[in-house]
């Protein structure tokens, strides 16, 4: 059963509002378009950033996504959840960018900039703060995710960060639910392998 089920009133109301705004955008309503951007900019930009890495042109790609939304609004038909349709556009542009640049986000797992400036005496005097270790691990995980193959990366990001159902991920990636589960299994296996050295320290 999808995590965002139809009985979730907040989710269905949000989607109905998105569809209403899209109908207005289809008639050239720029205020409705701006509201749509405001509602979903963090979803799009966050997905793009995690897919391409922080050194990419996140704002440029996210802007291209919404330009596509504007141009497609007149032909938009609400066959699926609006966010599913929006993320399919995002997927297409991100995958195109990855292929165009032949970049598979090869971000080296290394000490973050500025780490060498931390005073050594502080580290020797006390145990590292748990929240700092958690933040460091999160950074390492995100870097490792950017090294996964694109479909695995997208599926894992949508599941881990957006808490989407297998069904919705399947719609976005044009995969069956069993295929989504297989892709996620391979992604998690590869991620554990990439993080093994770090986690065994």
Whether pLDDT at 10 is above 60: no
Domain count, the chain: 2
Q: Which residue has the higher pLDDT, 118 or 150?
A: 150
Do 19 and 55 sit in the same domain of this protein? yes
Place of tokens 């008639």: 27
Do 23 and 69 sit in the same domain of this protein? yes
Residues 164, 158 contacting (CB under 8 angstroms): yes
pLDDT band at 132 (very low <50, low <70, confident <90, very high): confident
Strands (E) in the chain, as ranges, are none
Whether pLDDT at 4 is above 50: no
Kindly state whether residue 85 falls inside one of the protein's structural domains. Answer: yes
Domain that holds residue 33: 7-103
- Of 50, 68, 103, the position where a domain reaches its end is 103
Do 93 and 15 sit in the same domain of this protein? yes
Residues 18, 36 contacting (CB under 8 angstroms): yes
Mean pLDDT of the chain: 82
pLDDT at 54: 66
Q: Which residue has the higher pLDDT, 18 or 2?
A: 18
Residue 17, burial from CB neighbour count under 10 angstroms (0-12, 13-18, 19+): middle
For residues 131 and 56, give the distance between their C-alpha atoms in angstroms, rounded to a whole number: 27
Condensed to tens digits (0 to 9), the pLDDT of residues 20-65 reads 999 999 999 999 999 999 999 999 999 999 998 866 688 999 999 9
Whether pLDDT at 3 is above 70: no
What is the 8-class DSSP label of residue 149?
A: -
Kindly state whether residue 113 falls inside one of the protein's structural domains. Answer: no
pLDDT at 194: 83
What is the 8-class DSSP label of residue 76?
A: -
Q: Which residue has the higher pLDDT, 130 or 164?
A: 164
Do 183 and 95 sit in the same domain of this protein? no
Give how far the C-alpha of residue 53 lies from the chain's centroid of Cα atoms, to the nearest Å: 11
Residues 151, 183 contacting (CB under 8 angstroms): yes
Domain of 89, CATH number, reads 1.10.1740.10
pLDDT band at 140 (very low <50, low <70, confident <90, very high): confident
End-to-end CA distance of the chain: 39
pLDDT at 149: 92
Domain of 171, CATH number, reads 1.10.10.10
Percent of the chain with pLDDT strictly greater than 90: 56
For residues 143 and 176, give the distance between their C-alpha atoms in angstroms, rounded to a whole number: 27
pLDDT band at 128 (very low <50, low <70, confident <90, very high): low
Do 148 and 181 sit in the same domain of this protein? yes
Kindly state whether residue 123 falls inside one of the protein's structural domains. Answer: no
């Amino acid at each position: 059963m999808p995590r965002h089920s139809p009985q979730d009133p907040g989710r269905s109301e949000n989607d109905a509002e998105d569809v209403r705004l899209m109908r207005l955008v289809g008639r050239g309503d720029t205020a409705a378009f701006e509201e749509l951007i405001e509602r979903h900019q963090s979803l799009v930009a966050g997905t793009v950033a995690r897919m391409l890495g922080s050194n990419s042109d996140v704002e440029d790609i996210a802007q291209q996504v919404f330009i596509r939304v504007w141009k497609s609004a007149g032909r938009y038909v609400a066959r699926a959840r609006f966010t599913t349709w929006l993320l399919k556009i995002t997927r297409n542009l991100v995958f195109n960018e990855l292929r165009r640049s032949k970049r598979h986000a090869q971000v080296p797992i290394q000490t973050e900039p500025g780490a060498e400036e931390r005073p050594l005496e502080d580290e020797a005097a006390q145990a590292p703060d748990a929240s700092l270790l958690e933040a460091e691990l999160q950074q390492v995980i995100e870097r490792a995710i950017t090294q996964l193959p694109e479909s695995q990366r997208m599926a894992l990001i949508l599941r881990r960060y957006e808490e989407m159902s297998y069904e919705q991920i399947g719609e976005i990636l044009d995969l069956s639910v069993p295929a989504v589960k297989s892709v996620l299994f391979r992604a998690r296996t590869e991620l554990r392998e990439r993080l093994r050295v770090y986690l065994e320290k």
